[in-house]
């Protein structure tokens, strides 16, 4: 059995006899003396094999990624490498054994330019990279800290079903056909939402789970079709209670992992976030907030601004300080194309350097330009990027542009970890695709008490007791106080266009449970991969998942999804259309 980690030895271990295992990371023959970098999960240690050594001939046959076992004595190195923990020592080999050979690798493990598709196809080789291994070790630490922290607060870890009932709302379900009941399907859980609420009704009071979740949705750099959620639910509690538990967990993790003492997390309402940052998950590590200048143009003669105001639109801008000279006309054209992705028709701009220039400098009055200068505190070499449109378009486009410029102009302090509670989300949002209002979070989210009477009459102005925790521009968790009263739940279903018959068809067992004394309860679901991704300093979630999927939800290594034979389909009563 392997007793030692190769990377854990240092100068204090000189003279010790060791038996080591690992992969050949590198072999060098220097004037007859063979040096080998032996790698295991903990790092590398240098082996030295001299020409007079009985193992010399065997050592000459070694190639990269051969698996070997060696015995030897730790000695002090003549030529030290202080860049690695074992750089002051080496192992004088007395015995060498080849445990397995290796083909030439399709890419070198030290090549950071290797195509991601190639690395994913040979993920078992990519896993040998130190950074991937360290990310998975970090993930393990975060998971262990979470379990210990919540267990010490009397939370009980409970596993919930993976095969469950398909229910509406949220993302698209992954479906599993039933062999015994042809034409009927299980769904993989998008989250344990219903089950954890049933656990509260069942009297567990404090539950958590490191839960696997599945969503059939379009992917991106911070999203996978299957992911892990730190799922927490508690009874006889409200927002302040769950926020306190969550903040305590984050403080524990960041203290242990980063040795950082986190302050109390600030809070902003959803509407404040949208008006200031154009996003409900703002990156607050830099300023450059959106500024509303609609009132400066109430009497304007500029037709674009005038028609925007007449159509109940808004005019917002970003002030890019001391940067006008960094943006050519071509650069600004690229920014215009960028905001068009979010539905904007155009991006106006002004530059100031003792005088005004820019796309709309000649169509604005002197009074309007002076007001802009005074209100926005414009100084020489400032750039103003202006968008006039409906609020949703303005917020989305300028919010995305703000983040883009933050990265391109190096305005973001990468050493910061800025948390923010976003509260008071809208209860509903209108779906153009479905032609109706849908739940903004999920249909079990409690409305604000003062909005209960408006659920059916004023859906656009109903707000909920939902909350997100944002970290550096990523939505780290989503949660809410849950509905625990049957009458309120029925109203919410009606508001999103579900009849009671439809609701009982989809959620009948769940609604039935609320008739038997449901406690008030609330909870959160924390994205484990996103949290580890941020802690690891990467922006690609695949770096913290052992066997991830591509952006098209395929596994290049195992070549799935794939076809199945006709016998399997026949057993399931399924025919491919």
Strands 33-40 and 428-431, sheet pairing: unpaired
Do 47 and 156 lie in one domain? The reply is no
In this prediction, residues 108-130 reach a mean pLDDT of 92
- Same-domain status, 334 and 365: yes
DSSP characters over 305-349: HHHHHHTT-EEEEEEETT-GGG--HHHHHHHHHHHHTTT-S--EE
Going by pLDDT thresholds of 50, 70 and 90, the confidence category of residue 112 is confident
Read off the pLDDT of residues 264-315 as tens digits, 9 standing for 90 and up. 999 999 999 999 999 999 999 999 999 999 999 999 999 999 999 999 999 9
Containing 356, the helix (H) or strand (E) segment is strand 356-358
CA-CA distance, 160 to 344, in Å (whole number)? 44
Strands 474-481 and 206-214: unpaired
Among residues 362, 381, 412, the one where a domain terminates is 412
467 lies in the same domain as 549: yes
CATH of residue 307's domain is 3.30.1360.30
**What's the mean pLDDT in 184-205?**
95
- Max CA separation in the chain (angstroms): 94
Tens-place pLDDT, residues 511-527: 889 889 999 999 999 99
326 and 399: one domain?
A: yes
pLDDT at 415: 93
Sheet strands side by side (includes 314-320): 291-292, 314-320, 382-389, 348-352, 356-358
Residue 208, strand partner residues: 157, 232
- Angle (deg, nearest 10), helices 500-513 and 193-201: 50
| Helix (H) or strand (E) run with residue 126 in it | helix 123-126
Considering the domain architecture, whether residues 228 and 312 belong to the same structural domain is answered as no
Q: What is the mean pLDDT of residues 47-60?
A: 94
Asked if residue 278 is part of any domain, the answer here is: no
Q: Which residues contact 299 (CB under 8 A, 6 or more apart)?
A: none
Cα 76 to Cα 87: distance, rounded to the nearest angstrom: 9
pLDDT at 557: 96
Q: Which tokens in the block code for residue 406? A: 């933050």
Average pLDDT over residues 463-469: 96
> Is 573 inside a domain boundary?
no
Query: Do 263 and 294 belong to one domain?
Result: no
Position 168 scores a pLDDT of 64
Averaged pLDDT for residues 409-427 = 96
Which of the listed residues 77, 100, 123 is the one where a domain comes to its end? 100
298 shares its domain with 384: yes
Of 64-73, 414-423, 494-503, where does mean pLDDT reach its minimum?
Answer: 494-503
Q: What is the pLDDT of residue 7?
A: 93
pLDDT of 527-573, one tens digit each?
Answer: 999 999 999 999 999 999 999 999 889 999 999 999 999 999 999 99
Looking at the 3D structure of the chain, how many domains does it have?
3
Share of the chain above pLDDT 70, in %: 99
Q: Given the DSSP bridges, would you call strands 436-439 and 419-423 parallel, antiparallel or unpaired?
A: unpaired
Distance CA(230)–CA(240), nearest Å, equals 19
What are 206's two structure tokens?
A: 């404090």
Count Cβ neighbours within 10 Å for each residue of 189-201 and write b for 16 or more, e otherwise.
Answer: bbbbbbbbbbbbb
Alpha helices in 220-269 (DSSP H): 239-258
What pLDDT is attached to residue 222? 73
Cα→Cα distances 247→459, 466, 514, Å: 32, 16, 30
Answer with the one of 412, 445, 467 that is the final residue of a domain: 412
In a domain, 21, yes or no: yes
Q: What is the mean pLDDT of residues 387-416?
A: 96
Helices 486-495 & 500-513 angle (0-180, nearest 10)? 150
**Whether residue 502 is found in the same domain as residue 431:** yes
281 within a domain of the structure (yes/no): no
Q: pLDDT band at residue 169, thresholds of 50, 70 and 90?
A: low
Compute the mean pLDDT over every residue in the chain, rounded to the nearest whole number.
94
Residue 1 lies in a domain: no
pLDDT at residue number 511: 85
Is the same domain home to 249 and 297?
no
pLDDT at 170: 66
Instruction: Kindly report the CATH number assigned to the domain that includes residue 82.
Output: 2.40.50.140
pLDDT score at 358 = 95
Name the token pair of 123. Answer: 């993920």
In a domain, 111, yes or no: no
- The pTM for the full model equals 0.92
Say whether pLDDT at 376 is over 70.
yes
Comparing C-alpha atoms, which of 205, 214, 210 is closest to residue 233? Answer: 205
pLDDT of residue 156: 98
Stretch among 43-52, 131-140, 368-377, 452-461 having the lowest mean pLDDT:
452-461
> For residue 122, is it within any domain?
no
Please name the residue that has the structure tokens 């029925």. 490
The pLDDT, as a whole number, for residue 69 is 97
SS3 176: strand
- Whether residue 543 sits in one domain with residue 426: yes
Residues 213 and 297 in one domain: no
Domain range for residue 30?
6-100
pLDDT at 482 > cutoff 70 = yes
The reply to whether 426 and 407 lie within a common domain is: no
The CATH number of whichever domain residue 192 belongs to comes to: 3.30.930.10
In a domain, 280, yes or no: no
pLDDT at 475 over 80: yes
Q: What is the dihedral sign for C-alpha 244, 247, 253, 258?
A: negative
What does the DSSP 8-state code read for residue 445?
B
């Amino acid at each position: 059995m392997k007793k030692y980690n190769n990377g854990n030895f240092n100068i204090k271990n000189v003279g010790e006899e060791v038996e080591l295992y690992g992969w050949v990371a590198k072999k060098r023959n220097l004037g007859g003396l063979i040096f080998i970098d032996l790698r295991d999960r903990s790092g590398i240690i240098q082996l030295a094999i001299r020409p007079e050594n009985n193992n010399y001939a065997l050592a000459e046959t070694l190639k990269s990624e051969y698996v070997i076992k060696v015995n030897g004595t730790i000695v002090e190195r003549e030529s030290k490498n202080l860049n690695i923990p074992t750089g002051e020592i080496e192992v004088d080999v007395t015995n060498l054994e080849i445990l397995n050979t290796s083909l030439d690798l399709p890419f070198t493990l030290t090549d950071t330019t290797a195509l991601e598709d190639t690395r994913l196809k040979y993920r078992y080789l990519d896993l040998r990279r130190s950074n991937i291994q360290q990310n998975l070790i970090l993930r393990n630490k975060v998971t262990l800290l979470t379990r210990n922290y919540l267990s010490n607060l009397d939370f009980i870890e409970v596993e919930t079903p993976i095969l469950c009932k398909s229910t509406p709302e949220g993302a698209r379900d992954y479906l599993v056909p039933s062999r015994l009941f042809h034409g009927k399907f299980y769904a993989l859980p998008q989250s344990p939402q219903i089950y954890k609420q049933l656990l509260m009704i069942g009297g567990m009071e404090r539950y958590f789970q490191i839960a696997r979740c599945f969503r059939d949705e379009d992917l991106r750099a911070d999203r996978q079709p299957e992911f892990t959620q730190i799922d927490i639910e508690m009874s006889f509690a409200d927002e302040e209670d769950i926020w306190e538990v969550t903040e305590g967990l984050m403080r524990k993790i960041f203290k242990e992992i980063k040795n950082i003492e986190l302050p109390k997390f600030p809070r902003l309402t959803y509407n404040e976030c949208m008006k200031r940052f154009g996003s409900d998950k703002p990156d607050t590590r830099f300023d450059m907030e959106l500024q509303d200048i609609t009132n400066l143009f109430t009497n304007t003669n500029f037709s674009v601004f005038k028609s925007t105001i007449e159509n109940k639109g808004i005019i917002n801008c970003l002030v890019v300080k001391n940067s006008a000279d960094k943006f050519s006309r071509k650069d600004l054209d690229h920014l215009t194309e960028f905001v068009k992705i979010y539905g904007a028709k155009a991006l106006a701009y002004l530059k100031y350097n003792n005088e005004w220039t820019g796309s709309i400098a000649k169509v604005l009055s002197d009074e309007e330009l002076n007001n802009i200068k005074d209100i926005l505190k414009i100084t020489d070499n400032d750039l103003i990027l202006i968008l006039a449109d409906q609020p949703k378009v303005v917020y989305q486009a300028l919010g995305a542009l703000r983040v883009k410029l933050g990265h391109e102009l190096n305005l973001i302090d990468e050493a910061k970890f800025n948390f923010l509670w976003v509260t008071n989300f809208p209860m509903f949002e209108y779906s153009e695709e479905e032609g109706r209002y849908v739940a903004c979070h999920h249909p079990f989210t409690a409305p604000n008490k003062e909005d209960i009477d408006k659920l059916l009459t004023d859906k656009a102005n109903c707000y909920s007791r939902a909350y997100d925790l944002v970290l550096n521009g990523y939505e780290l968790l989503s949660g809410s106080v849950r509905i625990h009263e049957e009458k309120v739940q029925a109203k919410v279903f009606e508001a999103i266009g579900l009849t009671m018959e439809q609701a009982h068809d989809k959620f009948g067992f769940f609604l039935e449970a609320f008739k038997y004394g449901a406690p008030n309860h609330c909870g959160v679901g924390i994205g484990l991969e996103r949290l580890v991704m941020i802690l690891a300093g990467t922006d690609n979630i695949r770096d913290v998942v052992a066997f991830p999927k591509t952006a098209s939800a395929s596994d290049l290594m195992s070549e799935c999804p794939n076809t199945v034979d006709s016998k399997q389909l026949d057993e399931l009563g399924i025919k491919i259309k």
